[in-house]
Structure 1
Amino acid sequence: MNKKVAVFRRERFNAAHRLYNPRWDDATNFRVFGKCSNPHYHGHNYELEVKVTGEPQADTGFVMDMKVLSDLVQQHVVERFDHKNLNLDTAEFKELNPTAEHIAMVIYDLLRPHINKAHDMQVRLYETPRNFVEYPA
């Protein structure tokens, strides 16, 4: 019988970015990305949910200690991206367009090595209250 439980941790960070393709001219970038291609950037109050799924441990009853998960998100995501310009201030997005999709994938890759490999993990990133992405889908 499947005894898996999903646990979630929600954190927030604020960051600026610009969506654009450097190989395109400004008109093409604006046509594709709209106001998000503003050369002076724009910002979001991101809301991040990290989901870890597994069987609770016999000795603790935890799938994962939520304090440990919170500390991992703070250390590997919030400290790295909060109040930063993703395009200019982070190595991860120097060459990668910081779309919500890419941000979620990067966050997953930053956290996955620190989560028990026996557990499944998923990242949900809200760029706005109505726009969000999940990785893996």
Structure 2
Amino acid sequence: MIFLTRKAEFSAAHYYWNDTLSPEENERIFGKCANRNGHGHNYTIEVTVAGEIDPVSGFVVDLKELKAILEREVVSVYDHRHLNLEVPEFATAIPTTENIAVAIWRRLDGKIPNSRLHRVRVYEMADLFADFYGEFA
């Protein structure tokens, strides 16, 4: 078993807000991130797959195909979007770094041939990231 990681990037806006809470509670819990106009980040994602090395190609997965899957399933959907307003999975989930990692896992799970999804890491900033390994997907 070997692990292979591919990175991708996208820029997106979001805000944190829970409709079941009062505006005061949202502001207390989420601070500046509760501004309904949103704010943006340049996200970096790392997608790690696990599998056996193909003896013919030497790859775990076709790298061009993995890049195309990330582009189709994640980057083209999230890039330059307001996550709360334009991405379906965040109509009911707060687009925190943690929830973005889970959503990306769900978008990719089962779509990468000849390997299994091992980890999705989402960097919101250089010093803030979330890892998801699929336990609750």
* Partner SS, residue 127 of structure 1: strand
**1:110 aligned residue (98, 107, 111):** 107
Q: Which amino acid in 2 is paired with 1:95?
A: T
* Aligned-partner Cα distance in 2 for 1:118–1:12: 22
Aligned residues: 134
**2:40 aligned residue (40, 43, 57):** 43
Structure-1-length-normalised TM-score: 0.92
- What are the ranges of 5 or more consecutive residues in structure 1 without an aligned counterpart? none
**2:18 aligned residue (14, 17, 21):** 21
Partner of 1:60: 57
Retained in 2: the 8 A contact 1:54–1:120? no
- What are the ranges of 5 or more consecutive residues in structure 2 without an aligned counterpart? none
> 1:120/1:81 Cα in 2 relative to 1: closer, same or farther (>3 Å)?
closer
* Aligned-partner Cα distance in 2 for 1:117–1:87: 33
Partner of 1:125: 122
* Partner SS, residue 114 of structure 1: coil
Structure-2-length-normalised TM-score: 0.92
**1:83 aligned residue (80, 83, 92):** 80
Partner of 1:136: 133
* Aligned-partner Cα distance in 2 for 1:87–1:30: 17
RMSD over equivalenced CA pairs, Å: 1.4
Task: Kindly provide the CA deviation profile for residues 29-61 of structure 1, in whole angstroms up to 9, marking residues without a partner as x.
Answer: 111111111121111100000011111012211
Q: What's the CA shift for 1:117?
A: 6.8
Are 1:101 and 2:98 counterparts?
yes
Retained in 1: the 8 A contact 2:45–2:120? yes
* Aligned-partner Cα distance in 1 for 2:117–2:68: 18
